[in-house]
Amino acid sequence: MSRYFLDTHIVIWLVTNETKLDDDLRFDIEYPSGNQYVTSEFVLLEIMHLKQLGKINFTGSAEDILRVLSSMNISVDMITSDAFRVLDGIPILTIKKDRHTDMIDRIIIANCIANKYTLISHDSKFPHYRKYGLKLLEA
């Protein structure tokens, strides 16, 4: 059994039925074959923030997101204290001349490293964290 962590874009694509998500990946998430899929409260906070800013086209409520995740057996995990310890050891990287200071991205990365999740993400910054122990499946 593999353990996967769903990043913000992936959760948004699931709850909005966005076609950007690979069909095979969507099928495995919706009809899991023994794999475990999780996300975190930080991802849900980011989705609600993006919705309130009008940066994503999602008209549903927080309850709608939770209902969709529950229907797919995707658990919402709390960030562990081990993740905060890992975060302390991950430097703020400069990627393409920009410092990657996004707090939510960084805690997601640390959480995945600490809990040995494979992160499923579309974020182009995340591959730079493989050298710190991040397992990544680019979607």
Beta bridge partners of 94: 99
pLDDT at 18: 83
Helix (H, G, I), strand (E, B) or coil at 119: strand
pLDDT at 1: 82
Q: For residue 37, which phi and psi values (nearest 5 degrees)?
A: -120, 130
Mean pLDDT of 96-110: 94
Measure the CA angle with vertex 20, ends 131 and 39; round to 5°. Answer: 55
Helix (H, G, I), strand (E, B) or coil at 91: coil
Alpha-carbon distance 132 to 47, whole Å? 26
**Segment 5-27, tens digit of pLDDT:** 999 999 999 998 888 988 999 99
Statement: 3-138 belongs to CATH 3.40.50.1010: yes
pLDDT at 66: 94
Side-chain half-sphere CA neighbours of 71 within 13 A: 10
Mean pLDDT of 101-105: 93
**Segment 31-88, tens digit of pLDDT:** 867 899 999 999 999 999 999 999 998 888 999 999 999 999 999 999 989 999 999 9
Whether residue 28 is predicted with pLDDT greater than 80 in this model: the reply is yes
pLDDT at 31: 83
pLDDT at 52: 92
Whether residue 93 is predicted with pLDDT greater than 80 in this model: the reply is yes
Letter string b/e over residues 93-110, b meaning 16 or more CB atoms within 10 A of that residue's CB = eeeeeeebeeeebbbbbb
Domains of the chain by residue range: 3-138
